[in-house]
Amino acid sequence: MSQIQHFAPPAGIKAPPLSFATRVGGLLFVSGIPGFDDKGALADGFEAQFGFVVANIKRILDEAGATFRDLVKVNVLLTRASDVATMNVLYASAFGPAPYPARTTCVVHALPDPKMLIEIECVAQISGR
């Protein structure tokens, strides 16, 4: 049986009881990451939150020895349908160039903090590293 490696939240970030990511075998499972800054505060506005989500995912991937090119599946949760078009433009820039990972985008009623506009979770393939 494979050992599970856990990746903790950054120091000073108050997080719920979870690992930011877990690695088992050649797969890295990244928890849903909201758009908080390095002090744990949620940024104002959708574009700013998206930027912090990407930066936080990059930090986790870097720590695990992976890149955005290693992503195989991405789940995007939005609280406003009006942000889908903007998210697609930002996503293409951040997660590209093509080919992109498989993706699901859902508009949900709410996320854990009413100020959260987006959360992204993903899975990366990192075997052989």
The whole-number average pLDDT for the span 49-78 is 96
Question: Over the stretch 83-119, which tens digit does the pLDDT of each residue have?
Answer: 999 999 999 999 999 999 999 999 999 999 999 999 9
Question: Do 106 and 75 touch, CB atoms closer than 8 A?
Answer: yes
Question: Do 24 and 123 touch, CB atoms closer than 8 A?
Answer: no
pLDDT above 90 (res 125) = yes
Domain total for the chain? 1
DSSP state of 37: -
Range of the domain at 32: 4-125
CATH number of the domain that residue 102 is part of? 3.30.1330.40
pTM attached to this predicted model: 0.92
pLDDT above 70 (res 128) = no
Question: Over the stretch 10-27, which tens digit does the pLDDT of each residue have?
Answer: 776 777 888 899 999 999
